[in-house]
Amino acid sequence: MLARAHTFTIEGLHARHVTVEVDVRRGLPGFAIVGLADAAVREARERIQAAILNSGYEFPARRIVANLAPGDVRKAGPGLDLALACAVLGASGQLTPESLERVALFGELALDGAVRPSRGTLAVAQSTQRAGLGKLLLASERAREAGLIDGLQVAAVEQLCSAVRVLGGAPGDALPPQRAAARTIDPGAAGSLTPNFPTVDLAEVVGQPHAVRTLMIAAAGAHNILLSGPPGTGKTMLAQRLPSILPALSKSEAVEVTRIHSVMGASILALAASRPFRAPHHSITAAGLLGGALRGSLGEAVLAHHGVLFLDELSEFTRPALEALRQPLEEGRVAIARAHHSAVYPARFMLVAATNPCPCGYAGDGDRCACSEADMARHRKRLSGPLLDRIDLLVNLQRDTSRDRDAEPLLSSAEALRQVDGARARQARRLAGDGVSVNAHMDARMLARHVRLDERGERMLAAGRHGGLLSARGEHRVLKVARTIADLRASERVRARDVGAALALRPDVVLAGSRVA
């Protein structure tokens, strides 16, 4: 007898539809699974047999063949257990095979028949709806997560026997009570992408008004920014406060971020509310940044999607790792091709990088700098090149000797966020038909249409071009930043003062000194 069930396997960020066909026939008793299954799926044989027996059903002592279609897709993870078990029950006549037809099943089985949660539930729920299956059975811990997708019928099952009941037409099990505090993803919990410093505020930054202002410009236009300065001047502090002045996630962005959370295995009770903030250590490899070292593993660039990727000590990162960031910075996605799989992940993040102006960190700080010319040249060489080409803003922080501890903070996060929101709204209105929503993502065509300079601004740009200060790409970056500064002033026209400020903030390959000969 033959039974067919529907389930999903996680491939990167997506859930791929898998049809489980189980045939039970006469022959030597045995259980074979075919169709490119990985070790976790092949081990399912033992789990399924134990779970079926321990739930009070009968495991047919006949020849059982399970086929996972399509046959050329590699199936991974234990999430296929539930579908396999139900198909075995259907094929052995303990369940009507027709009841499996319009339902998706997703979950791992325990030996006693309990259904365990499996990672990637949100992606599975989305795919269930897209495949037109209408109903999804899964572990009760994850039922709320799947419930975030509108218009999908979700049934929570705690045991294999309750799954059989639900398939027979009964309602699903009760959901576990929602914890009052857990409105969203636990900050700092395992697998969570949100920063575990959720309460920081820009108002805690004393001094450095120039840097704070520039950080706001970066947030307003989603510009990549480089913070350079001696140790202890607040580079990391500023970067950590960037998420607090970024606009809230839109609904579709929140779904994307939550799906990444879900694939990472976070326990999700609501859509993500804050933007991700990722700060990988500088020893990270290119595969760690992009993902794909193991099948389906996600890189830091993907985990920072719609959020902030913070690279502290930029010059310490390996060159391959920095080179690897070119594609996500340019296209907002990561395409990985490995021997056995290839995948495309979304990776549109804001890059915030921090670096010392020289290896010892004290260049420009009186006579404290102890770096030789060769050290400086090496440092500069590591920083220059393709990555710096994609950074729009540079702030040089200086040790603030005249700092007044009781000084009024320049901006609170709430005030900065209000201004950023205003600027973003202007950009969204202007760029409505262009497929992008922020100034940093404008291409040359959009720049020509949306950035009109006054005469003095044009003159300044021309002077920069002729003086060799600006390359064509550099000019585009200056125009984008000038557009954002004008947006922050709530002005439709870009004036010379905006161009001037953008020019002063443009990153120069020379961080420390004019020692290049």
Partner 1 sequence: MSSSLQAPNASRGACLRCLRRSWLLGQLSGPLDYCARDRTRLIDLLALADDELLQAVAGRRAGELADRYKRFQVDEHEQARHARICRHRNGYPRGLCAAMAPPLLEVAGGVERLAKLAAAPVVAIVGSRAPSDYGMETARTLARGLTASGVTVSACLSDGIAVAAHAGALDTYGESIAVMGGGLDVSCPARRRSLYERVKSAGCAVSELQHDCSGRRWGQLAAERIVVGLAQLTVLVEADHTPGELAAAHITQTLGRPLGVIPGRVSSPLSAGPHALLRAGAELICGPSDVLELLHLPDDRPADARPPQQPMDATVTSGLPPELKETLARVGGGCDTPEKLMSLGRDPERVLLALSELELLGLIGRGDGGRYLPRQPLAALG
Residues that bind partner 1 (CB under 8 A): 208-210, 213, 228-230, 357-358, 363-367, 369, 372-374, 377, 394-396, 398, 400, 402, 460, 463-464, 467, 469, 485, 496-501, 503-505, 508, 510-515, 517
Q: Which residue, 127 or 396, is less far from partner 1 as judged by CB?
A: 396
Q: Which long-range contacts (CB under 8 A, 24 or more apart) does 377-380 make?
A: 377/515, 379/315, 379/511, 379/512, 380/509, 380/510, 380/511, 380/512, 380/516
Q: Which residue, 78 or 229, is less far from partner 1 as judged by CB?
A: 229
Structure tokens at 212: 């704070």
Q: Which residue, 62 or 210, is less far from partner 1 as judged by CB?
A: 210
CB of 202 to partner 1, least distance (A): 16
Write b or e for each residue in 441-461: b if 16 or more Cβ atoms lie within 10 A of its Cβ, otherwise e. Answer: bbeeebeeebbebeeebeebb
Q: Which residue, 213 or 261, is less far from partner 1 as judged by CB?
A: 213
CB of 79 to partner 1, least distance (A): 52
- Using left for φ > 0, alpha for ψ between -120 and 50, and beta otherwise, residue 295 falls in beta
List strands edge to edge, sheet with 225-228.
277-278, 308-311, 350-355, 225-228, 393-396
CB of 514 to partner 1, least distance (A): 6
CB of 71 to partner 1, least distance (A): 57
User: CA quadruple 39, 40, 43, 49: dihedral positive or negative?
Assistant: negative
- Residue for token pair 């990549």: 224
Q: Which residue, 24 or 481, is less far from partner 1 as judged by CB?
A: 481
CB of 333 to partner 1, least distance (A): 33
CB of 387 to partner 1, least distance (A): 19
Q: Which residue, 213 or 477, is less far from partner 1 as judged by CB?
A: 213
Q: How far is CA 4 from the centre of its chain?
A: 35
Q: Which residue, 1 or 462, is less far from partner 1 as judged by CB?
A: 462
* Three-point CA angle 427, 312, 348, nearest 5°: 35
- The CA distance from 297 to 76, in Å, is 12
Q: Which residue, 318 or 398, is less far from partner 1 as judged by CB?
A: 398
Other beta carbons within 10 Å of 302 = 30
In 26-82, the DSSP E strands lie at 30-34, 63-69
3-state DSSP helix/strand/coil % of the chain, to nearest 5 = 40, 15, 45
Beta bridge partners of 225: 352, 393
Q: Which residue, 51 or 511, is less far from partner 1 as judged by CB?
A: 511
Q: Which residue, 199 or 402, is less far from partner 1 as judged by CB?
A: 402
CB of 217 to partner 1, least distance (A): 11
Contact residues for 94 (Cβ-Cβ < 8 A; gap 6+): 57, 58, 164
According to DSSP, residue 39 is labeled: H
CB of 400 to partner 1, least distance (A): 7
- The CA distance from 307 to 290, in Å, is 15
Segment holding 138, helix H or strand E: strand 135-139
Q: What is the DSSP string of 220-241?
A: HHT--EEEE-STTSSHHHHHHT
Q: Which residue, 96 or 471, is less far from partner 1 as judged by CB?
A: 471
Cβ atoms of 466 and 459 within 8 Å: the answer is no
User: Among residues 196, 273, 280, 275, which one has the least CA distance to residue 243?
Assistant: 275
Q: Which residue, 139 or 460, is less far from partner 1 as judged by CB?
A: 460
CB of 452 to partner 1, least distance (A): 18
CB of 136 to partner 1, least distance (A): 55
CB of 356 to partner 1, least distance (A): 9
Other beta carbons within 10 Å of 263 = 27
According to DSSP, residue 294 is labeled: S
CB of 403 to partner 1, least distance (A): 10
Residue type, 333: R
CB of 493 to partner 1, least distance (A): 15
Segment holding 53, helix H or strand E: helix 44-54
Q: Which residue, 217 or 263, is less far from partner 1 as judged by CB?
A: 217
